[in-house]
């Protein structure tokens, strides 16, 4: 007993258990921190254009796919989500709608990564959607979509958590010729 | 954030889902993914192999798992073992030596 090997073994085992207890405490304590994030997305304008190409869109087969170009405004205060276990926040705006062929659709319009609490208050106007807004059937006839802000807290250690704001009221998509349905 | 495998590629990809179109009656679900640091979506990755050149979406059957959390640096042990085989042999040799001496 009390040889160097026994002592080294005991120290290693204890430190590894202590480290894992600390990581567990951080991971589980982060789940019960109260937070009060607020956020809202609103669409100021929607225009539908037909074409073959759009930002980053890679399905070139259809000549007249209908792409919706939106101008958004986003207001959010997510600073209460930053605690000791927050590495970064991934915030994204989602448009949700249903069509006769697919009752549930969700498309991400815009996203950003927030790394500091001081950057967590978002107030943006005149934002274009970062990614193509196009339906599976490539047509926007008779579609009503609501938009909401979602966030994902990326932790240092522990569980990925998600949250979202309330959905906005529905927006009807105009026809490509500009007539509002 | 899900882990998925493209048919024909052995290494799974861990990316975030950005589009989702569900049809509960036919039971189909189409998903589009994108890496957070990439500008465009993953269609270029889906279509890298000639057999997948028309692949536009992934489906739940391609998904192997889902990201639940983070345990940083836990995999470094395996990475060091693979990158420096000398370390692996030294460790195995040391374990063998210890077994010999203390038994």
C-beta neighbour count of A97 within 10 angstroms:
20
Q: Is the ipTM of this complex over 0.90?
A: no
pLDDT band at residue A1 using 50, 70 and 90 as cut-offs: low
pLDDT reading at A56 higher than 80: no
pLDDT reading at A179 higher than 60: no
Q: What percent of chain A has pLDDT over 90?
A: 8
pLDDT given at position A181? 45
Q: Is the CB of residue A135 less than 8 Å from the CB of residue A62?
A: no
Cβ neighbours of A154 in B, within 8 Å: 70
Residue whose entry in the numeric block shows the structure tokens 């950057």: A119
In this complex, the residue of B23, B41, B69 whose CB is nearest that of residue A101 is: B23
Average pLDDT over residues B60-73: 87
Higher pLDDT, A51 or A112: A112
Q: What percent of chain A has pLDDT over 70?
A: 96
pLDDT digits (tens, 9 = 90+) for B11-53: 888 999 888 888 887 778 888 888 888 888 888 888 887 777 7
Q: Do A156 and B70 touch (CB under 8 A)?
A: yes
Give the CA dihedral A113, A116, A118, A123, nearest 10 degrees: 10
pLDDT reading at A175 higher than 50: yes
Cβ neighbours of A151 in B, within 8 Å: none
Structure-block tokens of residue A163: 């949250």
pLDDT given at position A14? 94
| Angle, alpha carbons B1-B71-B62 (nearest 5°) | 30
In this complex, the residue of B30, B43, B44 whose CB is nearest that of residue A136 is: B30
Higher pLDDT, A88 or A66: A88
Domain A36-179 has what CATH class?
mainly beta
Query: SS3 of B17, please?
Result: strand
User: What pTM, to 2 d.p., does this model score?
Assistant: 0.80
Average pLDDT over residues A72-81: 87
Q: How far apart are CA A155 and CA A169, in angstroms?
A: 32
* Cβ neighbours of residue B63 closer than 8 Å, sequence gap 6 or more: B2, B3, B4, B31
Across chain A, what does the average pLDDT equal? Answer: 84
Average pLDDT over residues A147-162: 89
Partners of A144 in the β-ladder: A172
Write a three-state SS string for A107-154: EEEEEEEECCHHHCEEEEEEEECCCCECCCCCCCCCCEEEEEEEEEEE
Provide DSSP, A39-60.
Answer: EEEEEEEEEEEEES--TT----
Cβ neighbours of B34 in A, within 8 Å: 131
| Strand pairing report for A104-114 and A86-97 | antiparallel
Across chain B, what does the average pLDDT equal? Answer: 84
Q: How far apart are CA B29 and CA B9, in angstroms?
A: 21
pLDDT digits (tens, 9 = 90+) for A100-109: 888 888 888 8
pLDDT band at residue A58 using 50, 70 and 90 as cut-offs: confident
Query: SS3 of A159, please?
Result: strand
């Amino acid at each position: 007993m009390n040889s160097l090997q026994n002592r080294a073994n005991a120290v290693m085992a204890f430190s590894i258990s202590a480290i894992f207890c600390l990581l567990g405490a951080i991971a589980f304590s982060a789940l019960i921190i109260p937070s009060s994030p607020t956020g809202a997305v609103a669409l100021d304008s929607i225009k539908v254009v037909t074409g073959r190409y759009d930002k980053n869109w890679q399905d070139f087969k259809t000549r007249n796919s209908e792409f919706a170009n939106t101008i958004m405004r986003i207001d959010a205060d997510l600073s209460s989500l930053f605690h000791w276990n927050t590495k970064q926040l991934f915030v994204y705006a989602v448009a949700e709608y249903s069509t006769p062929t697919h009752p549930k659709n969700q498309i991400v319009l815009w996203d950003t990564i927030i790394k500091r609490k001081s950057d967590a208050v978002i107030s943006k106007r005149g934002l274009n959607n970062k990614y193509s807004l196009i339906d599976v059937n490539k047509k926007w006839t008779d579609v009503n979509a609501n938009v909401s802000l979602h966030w994902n807290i990326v932790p240092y250690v522990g569980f990925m958590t998600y949250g979202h704001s309330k959905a906005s009221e529905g927006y009807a998509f105009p026809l490509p010729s500009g007539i509002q349905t | 954030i899900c882990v998925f495998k493209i048919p024909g590629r052995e290494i799974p990809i861990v990316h975030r889902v950005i589009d989702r179109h569900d049809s509960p009656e036919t039971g189909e679900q189409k998903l589009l993914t994108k890496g957070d640091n990439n500008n465009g979506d993953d269609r270029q990755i889906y279509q890298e192999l000639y057999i997948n050149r028309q692949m536009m979406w992934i489906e739940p059957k391609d998904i192997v798992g889902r990201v639940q959390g983070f345990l940083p640096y836990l995999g470094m042990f395996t990475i060091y073992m693979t990158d420096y085989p000398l370390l692996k042999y030294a460790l195995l040799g040391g374990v063998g030596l210890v077994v010999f001496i203390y038994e």
